[in-house]
Structure 1
Amino acid sequence: MSGEINSVTRYVSHRIWQVIVFLTLLGGPVTVAPAQTSFFGAPKASYEEAEYEPSEKEPISISAEYSQQWEEDFVSVSILKGNCRIQQGDAILRSRQMVIWHRKTRQTDRLSVYLEGEVRIDLPGESKSENSLLVNLVTENGLKQNLRRPSQITVAPDDPVLNRAIERRGIPHDHQLKRAQFIVEKPPLEGPELSPIPEQEIVTDFRRIRLFPRSAVPYNVQSFPSTHTVPPEQIWVITGGVNLLIDGVEGLEMVDMSADRIIIWTDGRNTQNFNSEIRQSKETPFEIYLEGNIEIRQGTYLLKANRAFYDAREERAVMLDAELKTHLPELGEDVRVRASQIRMLSKGAYLAQNAWATGSQFGKPGYKMQASDVFIEDRYTTPWLGSGSNELDPVTGQPLPGKRAWMTSSNNTFEIGNVPLFYLPYVSSPVEDIYFPITGLRFGNDRIFGFQVETEWDMFKLLGLERPAGTKWEGQLDYYSDRGVGIGQSGNYQGANLLGFDNVFNGNAEAFYIHDSGTDNLGLDRRDLVPSTKDRYFLNHQHRQTSPFGMTLTSEAGIFSDRNFQQQYFLSDFNNRKDVETLLHLKQQQDNWSWSVIGRTKLNDYENTTDWLPKADLFLLGEPLLGNLLSWTSHSSVGYGKLKPGSAPYNPQQDVFTPLPFIADSQGLVAMTRNQLEAPFNLGPFILTPYVMGEAAYWEQGLQQQQID
């Protein structure tokens, strides 16, 4: 038995690809311990010997991920969260969250700072750690703040850390960081005696372990100490089948572990006698070796393994010959994951070796995704296409970084039966999306392109990038035996609040390139056309954005390498889609009026389009006049236009080309106004609308370059 135990490395196991993350719950329970609450009460007596005295001449710098600030009786109060840090001179204070009271005088800035959660104090020559801390700071040289997501509010929020900081404010203190120095404040010599308010007892993070027989047959327990370790350990060997439950993890479900045999190591100083229910600090060593018909359940997850080792305190483990089964709503099916070994290297970091995943429920699956190594980690991302539907921080009101389990795997193959169909050396994607990054595959053959293989790829997965909400990005890799290899991409996006402004937007982008070694065949008398260039491509981007007050912004940009490229390679787009343009159009529409400004230029020299540099329009529709007796409709515009005939084909003898007679080389100012007055009235069952309309227009150059007005 001991030989088998020693052969198992003591790390943490976890699920792979889509589902490995759930084994995080096997780690030691984590609860936030209430801080000692004594506002102005400061560090413990361990600071009596601190000799470093930062000078008031040193400025104070403050940084955090999120902040919320308001005014209270001429005092600025702030709640900081996420990587909080304060530095004055060589003294550095760090914590997960802080509350700061800041009073500014003519010459100084005085801060009272409450720190909570993984508090660390770094001084020259020493470092200290605390659960919570309260200090005073003074500087004559101002504050420097680096707050990534600041938020200004008018009233104090109902925040637990603020409540604890305020509660601590009323408790006497023995020490404080006063005048920017770590000193001990002397008790008062005179005055009425006050009974000190006792500090609240720190509630330590805990875990609860309960053991039950696995069946109707009671389990057997052997308990003995180990004197060869420091500190001494208590060892329990449990056989006959045991069910072990671990809970106490705040916000997470219970972890249910069953095995035929288990061995438990724990601290022998606090736990000597075996008990079917154990409650201990999460810092207490607690290690488990499981063997024989291992089943681990949590929520909808079921994990089976032959052998496993789990260290609850270090949150590391290893499982051998492990298989995981779960239902993934994202895929709408059950998924099985099997690996020869699954490890948890640290909290949030997992490694699986010789692993495969499948949606098949047969013992020998008909298809599977296989990889030699799979690495899982938690990623935090901030939206870059506006806030969209991302969750907001209830305190700051700012977008929260999204947390997702991310899978990176190497030597990936997709197999049907035992036949590998595709291979990729590297794949990176969210764990809920385990499919191969190829999204489309088409084969064909014809006289124009020859033998064809066209593929489409999920670029986010292929490059290991986080997929922003509302986006799609696909890459193209095509092979044409008579033409060459083509590469391209297409994508679309949609969202809200782009760049932090109130708006709704959507757009798409396309690109394609091929070094063409063939000739074009466009039908009838346009066969065997030699392209003007072998490097053929196109780029096209369209974007539309709608903002309050009826504002709409539209932008387009498009270019083709030559006149026949779209018709040859993208015939459906050539027949059905609008021509590509390059323009910027801003429009506002309210009630019965609107205005717009457009700037447009052409990038394709073979096109017959008018450039506007720019042009403005104003519309008014049915404006009532004289108590609704008259109705006024108007359209006025002014702009600078430039019209130039498209260039001739590269080979006009083969590619028939007839210039349009009404396209001339002209440019200049164009202005017009058209107004119409209507006087509608009822005549029996009819509505008659007499009207008068007039128009004035001016062209600086006409078709013959003459002025027209």
Structure 2
Amino acid sequence: MLTPALLASWLGGLVASMALAGAAEVRLPQTDPALRIFVRGETFAQTERGAYDVLALEGQCVLQQGTFRAQADEIVLWVDRQREVGNESPAKVLVLLSGNVQIEHDGFTLQDDRWVGRLFSVHAVELDFDRQVTRYDIPYFDWGLSGQSSATGTPPFGNNSNRYLVAGTAGAPDGSAVELQAPPLLNVSPRLESGQSLGQSGIPTLPGATAWDSPSRQNAALTSAAALAPPITPQVTTGPNSRLPTPQTSLQPTMQPPVIGTNQLQAIQFYPRGSIPPEISFQFDASRGESIGQIKGGFKLVVQPSSGVGGAAELLGNAAVTLEADNAVVWVRSDSPMNLESGFVSSPDRPIELYLEGNIVFSQGNRVIYADRMYYNIASQYGMVLSAEVLTPVPQYQGLLRLKADVLQQLDAQNMRAYGAAVTSSRLGVPRYWLQSQRVEFQDQRTASDLTAFSPIASDVDTGLRASARGNHVYFAGIPVFYWPTIETDLREPSFYVTSIKAKNDTIFGTQVFVEWDAYQLLGIRPIEGTRLRLSTDYLSDRGPAAGYRLDFNRPLPLFGIPAIGFSDAWFIADSGRDNLGLDRSSLTPEESTRGRSLARTRMFFSPDTVLSTEVGWISDRNFLEQYFENEWEQEKDLTTGFLFSNYQGNRLLDIRGQARINEFFTESEWLPRLDYHWLAQDLWGGRATWNAKASIGYAHQRVATTPIDPVDASKFALLPWETDSEGLRALTRQELSLPLQFGGMKVVPYVSGEAGYWKEDVSQSDVTRVTGQAGVRTTLPLWRVYPNVENRLFDLRGLAHKVSLESDFFYADSSRDLSRFPLYDPLDDNAQEHFRRRMIFNTFGGTLPPEFDERGYALRSGMQRWVTAGSPEVVDDLLQWHLSVNNRIQTKRGLPGRERIVDLVSFNAGLIYFPRAQRDNFGEDVGGFRYDFRYHIGDRVTFLSDGYADVFSQGLKTVSGGFQISRPGRGDAYIGMLSLEGPISANVLNGYVNYRMNEKWIFNGGAAFDFARTGSIGQSLALTRVGESALVRLGLNIDHGRDNVSFTFNIEPRFLPTVRLGSLGGELIPPAGAYGVE
């Protein structure tokens, strides 16, 4: 859906393109790029942002390149990694110094709190640090931080003109004496009636609709459409009679008469627009002290900024301005006649003004504006545009937007106004749809520190850009279909008021309508920085009305300013229907009439190594999630209530946690509280041995699930063997000592481990102490062989390399207590699996769970207790087993000649477990746990997949699957395969899906699953998607035989939105409309 936030966003681009360049100048040291850059600090952290590698050092930091030396508490380097390998040109290194900064260079000394600069070197940055850490608070690079310090304390970079003195250097005036006066605004205030349009078009439109021009002008920009992006760093305009701040530095420049910095000079040159030179007439008005020129016949004007260093402007390329028009009038303040053809220089004391008409093309950097009439002041970069049209990308949107305004007026440096503004993503000459506003006002409320080079990339940072629109209409096929009187929005929001609308229909919920609202816009309040609040108003015809909210935040907390990230999500429904969960649970009475769930999760970062996580999860009844949020029930973690405090210290971790059960229909353990300490991979005796340890102590209370109220649900409910109401102290420690040995190519690691633990209550509420001793040997033998002469064009083979890893783990354990005595204070499964296993006791095993299918037995036979950090420390018993596995990789080269890459042709991993004491450990079978995983990449797009697992005891799980997968990005993907399952449950399922773009306009989606056993048809889905110029429209049908449910779906999704769900083909999204020109 088109939004006024989009309209205001492109206004922001126009503001930046015409704002006065008033950013503080940044002085950069002149150093030899052949010299190396050395940096020293106590701690080091690294990350990536855009095209830069960011290196952050803290603690007594020192940076040196030749005679340039800097000291600070913190040094952050932005290293440009776009320089090609082997290129001798120096790499750019942006430098940010913070805290007690002291700089020495060629006899100059600067002391300040912050400094920003730039260095060059053909060598990689050399680092020296004590330890490496992980940081989440590395600051963004900000030229605005240096405007008051570095401009006066460092020597100039390069030579300066003899005619002008560089502001802020020795011999230049103090900033306090400089006063800049902005030129007067063009006195144009158009009077527009409601809906009146100033645009001209040969196509008739309804009253109030914007007249869109023919595509002739916009087609000229198709080749550069991808480059039409707003500048990363907007320029700052100094208002009338504004006074520059006095530099806060110990070095004060000598007072001199006011002079002009070289970065304020702009060279102007005129050229013919075509092969015929323009007609130029010239007059000099001595009474007004200005020269007036008239140009006819088409011309091109280039405004080239001075080559002086200018902070952020230089960082972004210091782009020139190019103006093309049919006719123009030029005013130049001068004392004598001037010749336009010879070119001249524009400066604040000699501004050049232009009035242009006819086929105007205004371009600066990667921004292009088309207009009919325009006024432009070159010195101040300020003006007014009539009948403007822009093709530009917008942050947080895919593709390009086409933007239009009858009148664009700049009121001052922070305020703009547009009349007859319209926006669309359509590239047709007369678009099918657009959003039109009678008047849009734009405010730039950013401070100097907001004008950074890289921070606007972060979507969670408040842009400081606000827009308000009046008289908003949405037009479709030239007809207004929606009206909203006023909009107040932050430009980072991609929607207004309504953020999502969905409609569905099925036999379980009836007709469903889901509407999501932007709460801040709805309430008319300014969004809290770093937050997003949504409200939901929904209706399900067979169940009832529903409402909810979701709050996402990523900002420091009000208390103590601790950085935090998290969300709070709640949804409730007045349910008047019955639950349909499939098979014998097709009509269950809900335990509550007002149903819902509330979930809040927060993670607070006291430091990069200290984190506090909290969670509160409440559900109204046991079947709510399975009925309304099935994916969350089956795939997400359980909803719990508690906290976890974690402190990381290298290879050590301290966890303090607490947990309470508030959902009585699930079995959960309460911890009041619990402390875990891990110490892993600690070298002993010079690396000859490795020690791993874990200790845990806490007060636990396992509270079991309550019995369902519905008789049908209650008839198949039973507690699992480990579910008992046990409470008390649990304390244990587990240690392992290993001795890595190398015998030729084989690595042998003998190890011993042990555990001692105490439980206040076992499953019979008796205290128990357990001591366990364990020992084993791990071995690894890698083998490889290369066959360079294997060539086959049919199978796309260019040499073969076979890599094999033979691994084994012989393990023995002796425990003083049986596993059956212990409750699982740390459960093995989620609530969804436990819920299913309880019903399986009655549906499959006739009321008694066999030990072969107890999850504790499976975890024990898999060897969980071998690991110090095992997820459930209760799973320990007497055990003797030998794990054997072989991992294979067959690799080849594929790709264009000279650009081949190594790829996996075949991967095959297999393993099994041998049980010397089979009767005790594996139900009488000597081997078990057979597993394999096989993949054959026939080509870059086609793969054969297969995997399997088998336990050979009676009714043990035996499963094998195989199938072909094909994927072609942008065209589609498909899979067809077979799954065979034998054991307590028997199934032979043929399943497949296909997503295929049949032509430019239509996409087919389909899927089906069929069981050749007694189940038969499982389900089918069919959908047809039309790829329109403006939107993706899908009509679909879903059949679920398990729940006897048939549903119809109808979805409409604009193509320019970033969260495309309907148009993903082969892992690639359908390009937005107009991304490669008119379709």
Distance 1:681-1:423 versus aligned 2 partners, 3 A rule: same
Instruction: Tell me: CA distance 1:619–1:322, structure 2 relative to 1, closer, same or farther (3 Å).
Output: closer
Matches within 5 A, 1:24-173: 24-26=16-18, 69-70=100-101, 77-78=111-112, 97=148, 116=175, 166=251, 168=253
Q: Judge which range, 611-620 or 551-560, deviates more.
A: 551-560
1:173-196: CA deviations, max 9, x gaps? 8xxxxxxxxxxxxxxxxxxxxxxx
1:571 aligned residue: 630
2:601 aligned residue (536, 541, 544): 541
Aligned pairs (5 A) from 1:203-242: 203=261, 205-215=264-274, 216-223=276-283, 225=285, 235-242=292-299
Partner of 1:182: none
TM-score, normalised by the number of residues in structure 1: 0.61
Gaps of 5+ in 1: 1-14, 36-65, 83-94, 102-113, 121-127, 135-160, 174-197, 393-400
Given that residues 542 and 557 in structure 1 are in contact (C-alpha distance below 8 angstroms), is that contact kept between their aligned partners in structure 2?
no
1:483 partner amino acid:
R
Amino acid corresponding to residue 303 of structure 2 in structure 1? I
Distance 1:273 1:363, change over 3 A: same
The match for 2:305 is: 248
Q: What amino acid is the match of 2:9? A: W
Structure-1 residue corresponding to 2:202: none
- Post-superposition shift, 1:613? 0.6
Where does residue 660 of structure 2 map in the other structure?
601
> 1:540 deviation in Å?
3.8
Distance in 1 between the 2:102 and 2:277 partners?
A: 66
TM-score for both structures, normalised by structure 2: 0.42
Q: CA deviation at 1:610?
A: 1.3
CA distance in structure 1 between the aligned counterparts of 2:21 and 2:753, rounded to whole angstroms? 83
| Distance change in 2, residues 1:284/1:607 (3 Å) | same
Question: Per-residue deviation at 1:248?
Answer: 3.1
> Contact conserved, 1:357 with 1:368, CA < 8 A, in 2?
yes
Q: What does residue 42 of structure 1 align with?
A: none
One-letter identity of the residue aligned with 1:97: Q
Q: Which amino acid aligns with 2:540?
A: Y
Assess, with a 3 A threshold, how the Cα gap between structure 1 residues 486 and 340 changes in structure 2: closer, same or farther: farther
> Compared with structure 1, are the counterparts of its residues 570 and 296 closer, same or farther at alpha carbon in structure 2 (3 Å cutoff)?
same
2:319 and 2:681 mapped to 1: Cα distance? 65
> For each residue in 1:4-35, what CA deviation from the matched residue of structure 2 results, as whole angstroms up to 9, or x when unmatched?
xxxxxxxxxxx963365246444556586899
The answer for unaligned runs of 5 or more in structure 2 is: 1-6, 28-96, 117-145, 153-172, 180-240, 770-1079
Per-residue CA shift, 1:640-689, capped at 9, x if unaligned? 1223344555x44575275638655553333345678999999xx99998
- 1:443 deviation in Å? 2.1
Conserved? CA contact 1:28–1:312, under 8 Å: no
Is the Cα contact below 8 Å between 1:502 and 1:548 reproduced in 2?
Answer: no
Quick check: 1:669 aligned with 2:729? yes
RMSD: 5.7
- Are 2:362 and 2:370, in contact at CA under 8 Å, matched by a contact in 1? yes
Paired position in structure 2 for 1:529: 589
Alpha-carbon spacing, 1:648–1:298, altered in 2? closer, same or farther (3 Å) = same
Q: In structure 2, what residue type is equivalent to 1:244?
A: L
- 1:605-620 mapped onto 2 (5 Å cutoff): 605-618=664-677
SS in 1 for 2:714: coil
SS in 1 for 2:658: strand
* Structure 2 residue aligned with 1:58: none
* Map of 2:358 onto structure 1: 292
Residue 513 (1) aligns with residue 505 (2) = no
User: The residue matched to 2:13 in structure 1 has which SS?
Assistant: helix
Aligned to 2:415: 349
2: CA distance between counterparts of 1:601 and 1:378? Answer: 48
1:286–1:678: structure 2 CA closer, same or farther, 3 Å change rule?
closer
The reply on whether 1:302 has 2:353 as its aligned counterpart is no
Q: Which residue of structure 1 aligns with residue 792 of structure 2?
A: none
Correspondence list, 1:490-505, <5 A: none
Contact 1:97 1:117 in 2 (8 A): no
Structure 1 residue 296: deviation in Å? 1.9
Aligned to 1:54: none
Q: Point out the more displaced range, 471-480 or 345-354.
A: 471-480
User: 3-state SS of the aligned residue for 1:17?
Assistant: helix
Please name the residue that 1:446 is paired with. Answer: 506
CA distance in 2 between partners of 1:491 and 1:221 (Å): 64
Which residue of 523, 530, 539 maps to 1:479?
A: 539
Q: 1:69–1:79: 8 Å Cα contact kept in structure 2?
A: yes
- Pair 1:336 & 2:402 matched: yes
8 Å contact kept, 2:266–2:379: no
Instruction: Provide the C-alpha distance between the structure 1 equivalents of 2:367 and 2:295, rounded to a whole number of angstroms.
Output: 25
Superposed CA deviations along residues 494-530 of structure 1, whole A, max 9, x for unmatched, are 899x999999x97665332334454444443462524
Q: Any conservation in 2 of the 1:680–1:689 contact (CA below 8 Å)?
A: yes
Query: 1:656 aligned to 2:690?
Result: no
Cα gap change, 1:693/1:417 in structure 2, threshold over 3 Å: closer, same or farther? same
- In structure 1, C-alpha distance between the alignment counterparts of 2:740 and 2:363, rounded to whole Å: 78
Cα distance between partner residues in 1 of 2:648 and 2:572: 40
Provide the secondary structure at the position in 2 that maps to 1:352: strand
For residues 416 and 217 of structure 1, the distance between their equivalents in structure 2, rounded to whole angstroms, comes to 45
C-alpha spacing 1:203/1:527, structure 2 compared with 1 (3 Å): closer
- Contact 1:381-1:402 within 8 A present in 2 as well: no
Deviation at 1:599, TM superposition (A): 1.4
Residues 687 and 243 of structure 1, relative CA distance in 2, 3 Å threshold: closer
Q: Are the structure 2 counterparts of residues 209 and 571 from structure 1 closer, same or farther at C-alpha, using a change threshold of 3 Å?
A: same
Amino acid aligned to 1:534:
T
Q: 1:421 to 1:587 in 2, by over 3 A?
A: same
Q: Which shows bigger deviation, 617-626 or 667-676? A: 617-626
User: What is the match of residue 643 of structure 1?
Assistant: 702
CA separation in 2, counterparts of 1:675 and 1:293?
79
| Equivalent AA in structure 1 for residue 714 of structure 2 | V
Give the letter for the 2:348 counterpart: K
Contact 1:77 1:100 in 2 (8 A): no
Contact 1:596 1:616 in 2 (8 A): yes
2:554–2:565 CA contact under 8 A, matched in 1: yes
Deviations 1:246-273 (A, max 9, x none): 3437633222223333234454x63555
Provide Cα deviations, 1:220-260, integer angstroms capped at 9, x if missing partner. Answer: 42525396xxx666544444444333343763322222333
Show CA shifts across 1:263-321 (max 9, x none): 34454x63555544343431445443222333322234332222223345665432222
Q: Which residue of 1 aligns with 2:832?
A: none
Query: CA contact under 8 A between 1:678 and 1:689: conserved in structure 2?
Result: yes
CA distance in 2, matches of 1:680, 1:483: 63
Could you give the per-residue CA deviations for residues 130-164 of structure 1, whole angstroms, max 9, x where no partner exists? 77869xxxxxxxxxxxxxxxxxxxxxxxxxx96xx
What pairs up with 1:336-485 in 2 under 5 angstroms?
A: 336-378=402-444, 380=446, 390=455, 408-410=468-470, 412=472, 415-418=475-478, 426=487, 428-430=489-491, 441-455=501-515, 476-485=536-545
1: distance between equivalents of 2:691 and 2:360? Answer: 83
Distance 1:100 1:359, change over 3 A: closer
* Higher strand residue share: 1
CA contact (8 A) 2:679 2:692 kept: yes
Number of aligned residues = 556
Query: In the alignment, residue 419 of structure 2 is paired with which amino acid?
Result: Q
Secondary structure, aligned partner of 2:639: coil
1:29–1:238: structure 2 CA closer, same or farther, 3 Å change rule? Answer: farther
CA contact (8 A) 2:696 2:731 kept: yes
Structure-2 change in CA distance of 1:260 and 1:647 (3 Å): same
Q: Is 1:17 the counterpart of 2:29 in the alignment?
A: no
Amino acid at match of 1:569: Y
- For the structure 1 residues 260 and 537, does the alpha-carbon distance in structure 2 shift closer, same or farther, using more than 3 Å as the test? same
Determine if contact 2:17/2:367 at 8 Å carries over to the other structure: no
Partner of 1:258: 324
Distance 1:629 1:254, change over 3 A: closer
